[in-house]
Structure 1
């Protein structure tokens, strides 16, 4: 680290450090022996035998593709060999992973400087606070340099293809609105603001000649617009119509810079691919869809350097399918790849004959692959470990659907343990978002429970989930969230209808909005579950919206409803678990990060104190150096081990014959 960056780093640390006051309002929290950054209350010690059983699962790691050098000879990945993800370089298929950064905080976003792969630009925060800063790393010196102010939030890092320009968004103007900045890469501190408007604005893509920049204006996840800015004059022009709201998933300039490939659900229930001509924008009518024949969401785009091939990733019922579009004829052809979930996609800057991607499956973590577009053959670049375990023994989930109210059919992934006898306990894992999606990706928790503990694991995509069209995604917006609670009941009904699942031993686990769902399950279906693990979850919709960071509050109001509206607030009060604490019967374990900017610590602590006030035993874990979830390995390991201990305690023993809930 250059010494000149030290004052800014000190400022960053000071800005995000916990206040001098007590770190928790929960009485009786104490530091975990040997791990003082974790405070616990009511959590027992993990037995050595359980720790030994789960240890190998916790040693799994993934290789996430971040970028590819122009000649395709170097792959930049994020992976973990110590406690957090760091940047690594791989220079041949199955070659060694050369670690480039050695920091105490994780790094998961980075790019090569085009034309100079010895220079990297990356984003990194402190303590999970998500106030990301922009850094430049020089392989010649082996040192990183902080380029930004050390205190405001930076996102959406983009580099122009000629390597001359850097773009990003930040909140420095007022802490609430997110503006777009552009700077020369040879003097990145000379950044100029391109937008100074209310709301959230992100850079998306530079034109290949470096003269224009696509910018996305977010009003919500489901409603955004695309603009183009002339970098010389600063003129901004809107490309999508102001009428008829719609979400934008991805956008890229065409090779000649005169058009844009756009993925949006503005004109259809699903996110489809369109080509917009800048000279004709803004469009008053829908342009022809290039993926109309595929009734699923397009979720990723990458254009080849010669502009003749567009790689298109499709989310088909939670799994990825890859297509290649011939941009001259608009002919779309499928590529036969193994079933999995594609987590990134990239062409080398100077090669159009090959594309790189990272792919995860239910039985293996994400790894990097190369696809030869001429032969359609794949070459594996990394092989991530799972603690030495044989992944062939892991469980492959089954895709199921079951009915709920209003004609809804809930899709879900069910892990049935192999070789189990009799009825088995079930853990339901609710995803976050709410616009998230459970997909068949590797989960140490799901595989350990199914393989070692012979528990079934069910991952539902309740109404409001992404991946099934915008109508389905909007079914829980605002006051309609009350209707979505019916999907919890439908999930429990599905379990009860399965001959091999024990409806008397059901637990729920979820993070963020998934944490709200598990608390709602405990409050509104109290007789049907035994155990609840709430990770950074929402306990009261109104107080969550009031206390989440200012830069994201309006975006979340578009999803949950505006808590300042009396009629909306009535519904939020009615469906907030904190207001139904007296109904909760299940055992409760709450896990929280001290620096969470999304769901603040107060959401966790108010539910812990309220449930304890009625005499119930509650486990509580607070990580002082984490934010919205756990990224540091010791914290993540402890959170998972104690969650499994908790689930084993409350779901492990079969009920005695004749007890309530048995047949």
Structure 2
């Protein structure tokens, strides 16, 4: 029986689910025999790309009820046009299924311009660049079905996209030569093109090509082939002679290398011989090509903005007075101003520096919220940036600095307006609050708490703990999108913890979960459950765990360690067994993940990974489990989901399973996101919100 037929047959069971009764496969099969054809019309059938197991029928009434929480739409900045005051943005249009590229002219007399759609495909597009001299065409990246095998395409106005790269590798746009006409990109081979379906060694190849060539594969020239899959970034010197590259080894170790473009020779710039290991990320060259700006944590816990005199090798600490990680550096085209972002307890903030003296400039006042990518345009000294906050998704603005940035005068102008469906007052969405608790070893752990409105939901509230992925990531302040439904309409308190191993809290904290210390982060969730029990407005008897990717592992691990303290768990693209994960993840990621999780080739580590994996401990998962997975996931292969689903189901615990055959590491298509959302609501009603 197909999943669609089963859902249609379960129309009668849907009303039981909505009233709080148990609806699991046994009851579903009984309801199937009693279902009437008329009832099927009231059921939302999944689209053909969805595999649905154990999930009750989705009533059309539920989809209609929550529709106003499924269509928030914002904009992301992509690139500035080189000669006009206009830009590329990424946006999901009304009725659209994925984000696409749009051309956006500058506002006129305060009135926003209408975006003009440039791409239209089943897969999302969010990364692109104008041809840098006249903007005659763009080059963009697009993968297929969530497989992350990005290809490069040239798009001329009014013409179909032209693929520039071979389909049997994944590619990344690095940058354009300043002289124009040619760009550099990087390519990495795939397991599926290797003999035996796996690669013992991975390389990254850098190419230079004219995108307007009639035969780009024949016209491209190889610059260098480098060992490993951790090469990224790529900032060109202004004279097109050197390319700065970052070689990523782990979350706490990386290097900066310089490539001579005429000879393709490489030399390691940082760390210098004799220096201790640290993280280094290249940011860009000074306008005179004599300095390289970069960020590094070699002097302390956080990544400081620094610059090096290339001739002498001497470095200067630029942001030593700012105790937070620097990122997202952009340089004005005249070389006078540097814009950088700093992660301040989960909120990115803008700082400006004088490029000549490296001294800080007055910080302009920006709209409230979390700063997104910020980039200077090609000539006017105008900075594009995005902001999102609790009251809305990302909006794009520009910042015009005064002729003298030292004067501190600046003009902020909105280029886009985010969209919220009728019937939703986003102004009422609550702000996130920072909370802290002590873990098992006395370490202070923090997270973000979003409380439902007390006047609408008095008394102790059920809790949804949502754990971020990474693990080198961070729960940050910003728009909660669909999660606002759980808070505003279901009265659920949302907690987003930053357990040990999260980024943004210093390099020591970042390393506290590595290797044999993996389960210490799970104990941080145990301590959070203790903290919840002490809070007068939170109900420790009604707690649901949810997480994606590494957060999915954390969810499954919590379900094995604290089954008696949770109502259920939702695992999204999560790791269920570390050894099978490390064996089956794409080879270009494997060594990078071994540094974090442990090397399964070492017998002692392999035994440890076997011991702590949720699949090994599946018998301890005694509360309902919901698993969500993309079939094309190259990071956490879908087999991780299917093996935990089969094992837990075999042991008698109820399992819901949702797999999308046209998705990868998480769902990017709105129709799939919607079905996942409806299913989650039913799961919460069945577990967390049961009387």
User: What TM-score, normalized by structure 1, do the two folds share?
Assistant: 0.91
> Structure 1 residue 164: deviation in Å?
3.0
In structure 1, the partner of 2:102 is 88
In structure 1, the residue matched to 2:671 is 634
CA drift at 1:209: 2.0
Distance in 2, matches of 1:186 and 1:223, equals: 38
Partner of 2:463: 426
Q: How does 1:381-530 map to 2 (within 5 A)?
A: 381-388=415-422, 389-418=424-453, 419=455, 420-530=457-567
2:339 corresponds to 1:340: no
Q: Distance in 1 between matches of 2:49 and 2:459?
A: 42
1:644–1:361 distance in 2 versus 1, CA, 3 Å: same
Q: Distance in 1 between matches of 2:295 and 2:558?
A: 35
The answer to whether 1:204 aligns with 2:230 is: no
Structure 1 distance, partners of 2:487, 2:177, is 46
What is residue 174 of structure 2 aligned with on the other side? 157
Partner of 2:277: 245
Matched pairs, number: 623
Would you say 1:265 and 2:302 are equivalent positions? no
Q: Which residue number in structure 2 is paired with residue 598 of structure 1?
A: 635
CA distance in 2, matches of 1:598, 1:312: 30
3-state SS in 2 of match to 1:154 = strand
| In structure 2, C-alpha distance between the alignment counterparts of 1:449 and 1:32, rounded to whole Å | 21
> Is the CA contact 1:86–1:99 (under 8 Å) kept in the aligned structure 2?
yes
Whole-angstrom distance in 2 between the partners of 1:250 and 1:279: 17
Q: Quickly say closer, same or farther: Cα 1:497–1:156, change in 2 above 3 A.
A: farther
Q: Deviation per CA, 1:236-266, whole angstroms, max 9, x where unpaired? A: 2211025422223441111111211101223
Output aligned runs, 1:541-556, within 5 Å. 541-556=578-593
| Aligned residue in 2 for 1:97 | 115
Q: Distance in 2 between matches of 1:156 and 1:234?
A: 18
The one of 571, 574, 579 aligned to 1:537? 574
SS at match of 2:687: helix
8 Å contact 2:255–2:281 — kept in the other structure? no
**C-alpha distance 339-573 of structure 1, shift in aligned 2 (>3 A):** farther
User: In 2, distance between residues paired with 1:467 and 1:37?
Assistant: 37
Aligned counterparts of 2:276 and 2:182: Cα–Cα separation in 1: 33
Moved over 6 A (4+): 28-32
Q: Aligned with 1:553: secondary structure?
A: helix
Higher deviation after alignment, 228-237 or 293-302: 228-237
Q: 1:378 aligns with which of 389, 395, 412?
A: 412
Checking the alignment, whether the CA contact within 8 Å between 2:329 and 2:340 is kept in structure 1 is yes
What is the CA distance between 1:186 and its match in structure 2? 4.2
Corresponding position of 1:48: 60
* Distance in 2 (alpha carbons) for counterparts of 1:606 and 1:106: 29
Alignment of 1:577-588 (within 5 A): 577-588=614-625
Q: State the alpha-carbon separation in 1 of the partners of residues 548 and 102 from structure 2.
A: 29
The aligned counterpart of 2:125 is: 107
Distance 1:87 1:291 in 2: 35
Please, which runs of 5 or more residues in structure 1 have no aligned partner?
1-25, 655-663
Aligned-partner Cα distance in 2 for 1:116–1:36 = 43
Aligned 1:3-82 pairs, distance under 5 A: 33=45, 35-71=47-83, 73-81=85-93, 82=96
Task: State the Cα deviation string for residues 60-92 of structure 1 (Å, max 9, x = none).
Answer: 122010111234611111111211111001102
- The equivalent of 1:298 in structure 2 is 326
Partner Cα distance (1:376, 1:468) in 2: 31
103-112 vs 258-267, greater mean Cα deviation: 258-267
Q: Single out whichever of 471-480 and 161-170 deviates more from structure 2.
A: 161-170
- Give the equivalent residue in structure 1 for 2:38: none
Between the aligned partners of 1:97 and 1:530, the Cα distance in structure 2 is 45
Q: Which residue of 1 aligns with 2:406?
A: none
Q: Cα distance, 1:157 vs. partner?
A: 3.3
In 2, the alpha carbon distance for the partners of 1:142 and 1:574 equals 56
Match of residue 365, structure 1, among 389, 393, 415: 393
Pick one of 168, 171, 195 that aligns with 2:185: 168
CA distances 1:480-507 after superposition (whole Å, capped 9, x unpaired)? 1122221111111121111000000000
Q: Conserved in 2, the CA contact under 8 Å of 1:208 and 1:257?
A: yes
Paired residues of 1:592 and 1:621 also in contact (CA < 8 A): yes
Tell me, yes or no, if the aligned pair for 1:321 and 1:335 is still in contact at 8 Å. no
Distance (whole Å) between structure 1 residues aligned to residue 415 and residue 233 of structure 2: 30
- 2:569, 2:155 → 1: CA distance? 43
Q: Is the 8 A contact 2:270 2:280 kept in 1?
A: no
Distance 2:126 2:538 in 1: 38
Change (3 A) 1:119 1:360: same
Query: In structure 2, the residue corresponding to 1:279 is in which secondary structure?
Result: coil
Give yes or no for the alignment of 1:563 onto 2:600: yes
Q: Aligned equivalents of 1:137 and 1:144: distance in 2? A: 5
- 1:130 corresponds to: 148
Partner of 1:624: 661
Instruction: Note closer, same or farther for the CA distance 1:204–1:62 as it changes in structure 2 (3 Å cut).
Output: same
Superposed, 1:213-292 pairs within 5 Å as 213-241=243-271, 243-281=275-313, 287-292=315-320
In the TM superposition, what is the alpha-carbon distance from 1:376 to its structure 2 partner? Answer: 2.2
CA contact (8 A) 1:32 1:39 kept: no
Indicate if the aligned counterparts of 1:180 and 1:202 stay in contact, CA closer than 8 A: no
User: Residues of 1 paired with 2:168 and 2:355: CA distance?
Assistant: 43
Counterpart-to-counterpart distance in 1, 2:338 and 2:632: 40
For residue 656 of structure 2, give the secondary structure of its aligned residue in structure 1.
strand
- Give the counterpart of 1:195 among 212, 217, 224: 224
SS in 2 for 1:246: coil
**Cα distance in structure 1, aligned partners of 2:117 and 2:49:** 26
TM-score (norm 2): 0.87
What secondary structure, in the 3-state scheme, does the structure 1 residue paired with 2:475 have?
coil
Which residue does the alignment assign to 1:574? 611
For residues 564-586 of structure 1, the C-alpha deviation after alignment (integer angstroms, 9 at most, x for no partner) is 11111222122211111111122
Could you tell me how far 1:335 is from its partner in structure 2?
Answer: 2.7
CA contact (8 A) 2:44 2:58 kept: no
Give CA-to-partner distance per residue, 1:295-337, whole Å, 9 cap, x none.
0111210000111100011110001211110112222132332
